[in-house]
Amino acid sequence: MIAHTPTLFAAVALVATILAFCLLLVGQRNRRDNLWLTGCGLLAHASAYVCYTLYGHAPLWLSYGVGNSLLSLALAFYAASLFWVREQAVPWRLIFSIPLLLLVGLLLLLDTLEPRMLLATLVLMLQCSMILYWVRRRRAWAGSAHLLLVIGSLISLVGLGMRAVAVIGGTAVDMRYDTSNLKQSVSVAIGTATVMMYAIGLVLMAKERSETRLQHLALRDVLTGTFNRGAILERFSAEFDRARGEQRSLAVAMIDIDHFKRINDRYGHLAGDEVLCHCVRQLLQRIRQTDSLGRYGGEEFLLLLPDTDREGALQALHGLREAIACSPAHFAGDEIALRFSVGLWCGVPSPQHNPTSLLAQADAALYQAKAAGRNTVQMAALC
């Protein structure tokens, strides 16, 4: 089906303008989000297609030079939006120098047909390839919204490739913006799909980022950044079921910072907060990726060591205890010496065990460690 090319351009411009208005209206309230940048890209996209509709009725520098430069600017905004939504440094100069250089090149080649078409096509293909590379290389979280950007980039490369083949094959005149034929209809339809894919993909990426951030906040202790009580207990339940089902050893350690109340009384609660954060940083640096640490409450932490026998657990916890003792916290010029006590349960969970009973045994062992003078590891008796 062959459609009137200027009419297609106008339709794409209308769709992009509506999308741009919606995103700019929402995005202006929060410039830290990527919606505003995506909206700017859509507005540039719409403006480019408005210029295309004027081809043959307006100066060539406007309908072709400015039009393709605006399309390049739209791709630059989409690329910046991609970096922004991932909270990564945006290479502003690299991204936005390309549209400017394209404009200069097109103005210099304005009186030629094939060279200016080839230049515009190759530059736009380069930008789509860069977006495709950045999308695939710098994924920051799990999600499928990036697939829309991948598909949009690939579709755009196909459409631009059609133009490049036409120019190289000597049929560049068939791809003039005032010519209506099947290749033009397919090319403009591809451009419409690209607008939709980029816009929806970037918006959904912002949604995925917000959901990931909320999920992270729901699982993390606000002060220390490690798992909160609910999250570590959920992780414990999963590790318990796995250890019992596969008959593997599991170590459950209750860690309590010794004389934490004295630290608060002597140095203040802000110092106490720094001590908690310092301990978490030191512990996380020294445990395995398969281990899990969470703040159980106050100055108590729950540490899970999967696939760890009694000897390995004792060795690991003594090593952690000694590392903390050798790494005092610092606050307001004061050096705060730290020690902690540990209650440990270790073994293969039996059908008679449950997470609550193991926690109770580790907690009882912790009180024995405190009663024994603190700064030690007390193993719970297996029962």
**30 or 167, which is more confident?**
167
Query: DSSP code of 58?
Result: B
In the numeric block, the tokens 């004389």 are attached to: 259
For the chain, which domains are there? 5-218 (1.20.1070), 229-379 (3.30.70.270)
Higher pLDDT among residues 51 and 1, named by residue? 51
Q: What is the pLDDT of residues 169-224, one digit of tens each?
A: 888 787 788 787 887 778 778 888 888 889 999 988 888 888 877 887 788 998 99
User: pLDDT band for position 141 (50/70/90)?
Assistant: low
Provide the mean pLDDT of the chain.
89
Q: Give residue 31's pLDDT band: very low, low, confident or very high (50, 70, 90).
A: low
Confidence tier at 1 by pLDDT (50, 70, 90): low
Backbone angles phi, psi at 369, to 5 degrees: -65, -40
Give the model's pLDDT for residue 273: 94
Tokens of 92: 């502003």
| The pLDDT value given to residue 70 | 96
Structure tokens at 100: 């400017």
For the ranges 100-109, 191-200, 220-229, 299-308, the lowest mean pLDDT is seen at 191-200
Q: Which 3 state secondary structure label does DSSP give 110?
A: coil
Buried b (16+ CB within 10 A) or exposed e, 250-279: bbbbbbbbbbbeebbeebeeebbebbbbbb
Q: Higher-confidence residue: 36 or 381?
A: 36
Q: Given this model, what pLDDT does residue 166 score?
A: 86
Region of 89 (left: φ > 0; alpha: ψ -120 to 50; beta: rest) is beta
Contacts of 186 (CB under 8 A, 6+ apart): 159, 162
Q: Which is nearest to 163 in space by CA: 136, 181, 149, 146?
A: 181
What percent of the chain is predicted at pLDDT more than 70? 96
Residue 382's pLDDT is 66
| First CA to last CA distance, the chain | 79
Q: From the CB of residue 56, how many other CB atoms can be counted at a distance below 10 Å?
A: 12
Q: Please say whether the beta carbons of 258 and 204 come within 8 A.
A: no
Tell me if the pTM is above 0.85: no
Residue 383 confidence (pLDDT) above 60: no
Q: Mean pLDDT, to the nearest integer, of 236-256? A: 94
Nearest to 347 by CA among 321, 308, 378, 315: 308
Phi, psi for 161 (deg, rounded to 5): -65, -35
Q: How far is CA 370 from the centre of its chain?
A: 43
Percent of the chain with pLDDT over 90: 63
292-312: average pLDDT: 94
300-306 and 292-297 beta bridge pairing: antiparallel
Does residue 44 contact residue 24 with C-beta atoms inside 8 Å?
Answer: no
pLDDT (0 to 100) of residue 32? 66
DSSP string computed for 214-271: HHHHHHB-TTT-SB-HHHHHHHHHHHHHHHHHHT--EEEEEEEETTHHHHHHHH-HHH
H-assigned helices in the chain? 5-27, 35-53, 60, 67-85, 92-108, 114-137, 146-168, 182-219, 229-246, 260-267, 269-286, 310-325, 355-371
Note the pLDDT of residue 140.
Answer: 61
Nearest to 215 by CA among 233, 227, 203, 202: 227
Neighbours of 202 (CB within 10 A): 29
Six-digit token string for 337 = 């010496």
